[in-house]
């Protein structure tokens, strides 16, 4: 029997409606958003489970599920992400949070649904999963799963055996005694210190997350530490932090399961959350939906995420890993031909994509014309692309050091000496492959022609 990572908590359906806002309503001084895209993903504990499934072979989610349209869509998204769902009965309707966004900015959030856990019975599958777990992460979103008496008894019992990390919520239940780590943010901590909360919750350790400033940690051996963010790609001013707390909790859980100390686990979690935000946040686990309705078949299956997550997931597939990179600001025939030829050199293709900050540094303040999120989604829609990693530097050397591809492909009039990253690729036994470009195709020329 395998030992899964078990996520316990409240799940919901998250929907992003994206469009543009170029005018005010004649009825009131409010922006009018012309919607043109819809993206859906699991939220709450569901998002934590999906993030875990990107690096873990077996992830079990214990959550409440309603038998309604939103609940069915949520279950579809979780199953498609490789998550095994152990469903508790729910009274009421699925919680759905819809964000309306324009030009990368959130304009409004609409919440609907009142679902809470129903009944005191616990499926046998829940006890079985927790009994086999190699680590447990509770993602509490205040809708009753963490307050279930039967689950709480199982969590406290198994927390004596394996790492138990609890991400609390102001409206949720108090963590069970003995948690290996509790991870409130500043709002949830309510101005209490990590040490005060650790004693109050009778936890082995508490880490108060501080956003871009890292985290403050208190452990039962009396150690108090401030964890700052080591070098990671920087997030832009418009970076979406949705899901960063779930990414932090999952990373800490996995580190503790590997035998790392609490401080080491929190340090790795801070880095993971920072990379997650810099790489685009929860956009990487969203699937396309239809405007005016919930549902729709996913149009792509490519992974969009951090370089270490992409590496681990694709390496598990086996075969030859190929990587290429660039700005891809206005995708054209030359780009597509290069990507198809690169994919033919191996079994999986990773695209290292320059972030908006990186493109501006390379091409000037007027670029890019397409945001990093849009450029990434276009690339993910190509059948030849298996994964996209967004990076903030002008050279992808750091990402290549982590990825260690079997081949690094570039197009154009480069020579091996012109590529500073070539030494990194070759130092790990990879090949550098230079492919000729197709004459007549250039993003810069296309953009100049449009602007003229």
Q: Which residue pairs, CB below 8 angstroms and at least 24 apart, start in 447-452? A: 447/329, 447/330, 447/367, 447/369
Helices (H) and strands (E) in the chain, counts: 15, 21
Distance of CA 123 to the CA centre of its chain: 29
What is the rounded CA–CA span in Å between residue 39 and residue 204? 39
Is the confidence at residue 294, as pLDDT, over 60?
no
What is d(CA 419, CA 417) in angstroms, rounded to the nearest whole number? 6
**Structure confidence at residue 29 (pLDDT):** 85
CB 262 within 8 A of CB 256: yes
Mean pLDDT of 290-300: 45
Using an 8 Å Cβ cutoff, are 226 and 214 in contact? yes
Report DSSP letters for 197-223, one per residue.
Answer: HHHHHT-SEEEEE-GGG-EEEEETTS-
pLDDT recorded at residue 211: 84
pLDDT, greater one: 434 or 152: 152
> Which amino acids are annotated catalytic?
246
pLDDT at 447 over 60: no
pLDDT tens column, 56-108: 989 999 999 999 999 999 999 999 889 999 999 999 999 999 999 886 678 89
Q: Residue written as tokens 């990414």?
A: 247
Average of per-residue pLDDT values in the chain:
86
**Quick one: average pLDDT of 33-59?**
88
Domains of the chain (ranges; CATH) run 5-288 (3.40.1190.20), 303-450 (3.40.50.620)
pLDDT at 234: 45
Is 70 exceeded by the pLDDT of residue 137? yes
Alpha helices in 202-345 (DSSP H): 244-257, 262-278, 307-317, 333-343
Spatial CB neighbours of 210, under 8 Å, sequence gap ≥ 6: 185, 186, 216
Q: What is the average per-residue pLDDT within 373-379?
A: 86
Nearest to 167 by CA among 247, 110, 99: 247
What DSSP letter does each residue of 42-105 carry, written as one string?
Answer: EEEHHHHHHHHHTT-S-EEEEEEE-SSHHHHHHHHHHHHTTEEEEEEEEES---EEEEEEETTE
3-state secondary structure of 22: strand
Report how far residue 371's alpha carbon sits from residue 237's, in angstroms, rounded to the nearest whole number. Answer: 13
Q: Exposed (0-12), middle (13-18) or buried (19+): which is 256, by Cβ within 10 Å?
A: buried
Burial class from Cβ neighbours inside 10 Å (0-12, 13-18, 19+) for residue 149 reads exposed
pLDDT tens, residue by residue, 229-243:
765 444 444 456 788
Give the residue among 310, 384, 381, 305 at the shortest CA–CA distance from 347.
Answer: 384
| Residue 120, pLDDT above cutoff 70 | yes
Cβ proximity of 209 and 236 under 8 Å: no
Q: What pLDDT does residue 236 have?
A: 45
Winning range, highest mean pLDDT, from 184-193, 214-223, 256-265, 280-289: 256-265
The whole-angstrom distance between residue 17's C-alpha and the CA centroid of its chain comes to: 18
Q: What letter would DSSP give residue 179?
A: -
The label of the residue with tokens 């709450």 reads 44
Q: How would DSSP label each residue in 125-157?
A: HHHHHHHH-SEEEEE--SSSGGG-HHHHHHHHH
149-163 confidence digits (pLDDT tens) = 999 999 999 999 999
Model pLDDT for residues 380-433, shown as the tens digit of each residue: 888 788 899 999 888 899 999 999 999 999 886 565 556 889 999 999 999 998
What's phi and psi for 289, nearest 5 deg?
A: -120, -165
Question: Smallest Cα–Cα separation from 393: which of 417, 416, 369, 424?
Answer: 424
- Residue 439 pLDDT > 70: no
Residue 295 near residue 69, CB atoms below 8 Å: yes
């Amino acid at each position: 029997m395998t030992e899964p990572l078990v996520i316990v908590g409240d799940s919901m359906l998250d929907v992003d409606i994206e469009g543009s806002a170029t005018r005010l309503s004649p009825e009131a001084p409010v922006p009018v958003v012309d919607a043109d895209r819809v993206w859906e993903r699991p939220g709450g504990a569901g998002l934590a489970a999906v993030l875990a499934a990107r690096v873990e072979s077996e992830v079990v989610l214990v959550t409440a599920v309603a038998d309604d349209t939103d609940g069915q869509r949520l279950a579809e998204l979780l199953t498609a992400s490789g998550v095994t769902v152990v469903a508790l009965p729910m009274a009421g309707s699925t919680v759905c949070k819809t964000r309306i966004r324009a030009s990368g900015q959130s304009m409004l959030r609409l919440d609907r649904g009142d679902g809470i856990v129903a009944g005191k019975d616990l499926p046998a599958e829940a006890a079985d999963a927790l009994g086999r777990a190699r680590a447990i992460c509770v993602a509490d979103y205040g809708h009753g799963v963490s307050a279930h008496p039967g689950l709480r008894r199982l969590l406290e019992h198994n927390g004596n055996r394996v790492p138990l990390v609890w991400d609390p919520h102001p409206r949720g239940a108090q963590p069970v005694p003995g948690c290996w780590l509790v991870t409130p943010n500043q709002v949830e901590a309510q101005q209490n210190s990590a040490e005060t909360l650790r004693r109050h919750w009778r936890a082995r350790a508490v880490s108060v997350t501080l956003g871009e400033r890292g985290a403050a940690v208190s452990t039962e051996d009396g150690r108090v530490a401030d964890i700052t963010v080591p070098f990671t790609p920087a997030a832009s001013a418009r970076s979406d932090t949705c899901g960063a707390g779930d990414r932090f909790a999952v990373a800490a859980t996995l580190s503790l399961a590997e035998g790392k100390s609490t401080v080491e686990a929190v340090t790795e979690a801070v880095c993971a959350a920072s990379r997650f935000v810099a790489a685009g946040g929860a956009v990487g686990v969203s699937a396309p939906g239809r405007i005016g309705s919930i549902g729709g078949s996913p149009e792509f299956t490519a992974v969009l995420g951090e370089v270490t997550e992409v590496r681990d997931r694709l390496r598990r597939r086996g075969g030859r890993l190929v990587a290429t990179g660039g700005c891809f600001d206005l995708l054209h025939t030359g780009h597509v031909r290069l990507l198809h030829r690169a994919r033919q050199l191996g079994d999986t293709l990773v695209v290292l994509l320059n972030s908006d900050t990186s493109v501006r540094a390379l091409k000037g303040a007027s670029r890019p014309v397409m945001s990093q999120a849009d450029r990434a989604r276009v690339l993910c829609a190509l059948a030849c692309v298996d994964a996209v990693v967004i990076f903030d530097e002008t050279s992808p050397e750091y990402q290549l050091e982590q990825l260690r591809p079997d081949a690094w492909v570039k197009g154009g009039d480069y020579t091996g000496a012109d590529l500073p990253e070539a030494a990194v690729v070759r130092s790990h036994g990879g090949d550098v492959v230079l492919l000729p470009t197709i004459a007549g195709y250039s993003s810069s020329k296309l953009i100049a022609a449009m602007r003229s």
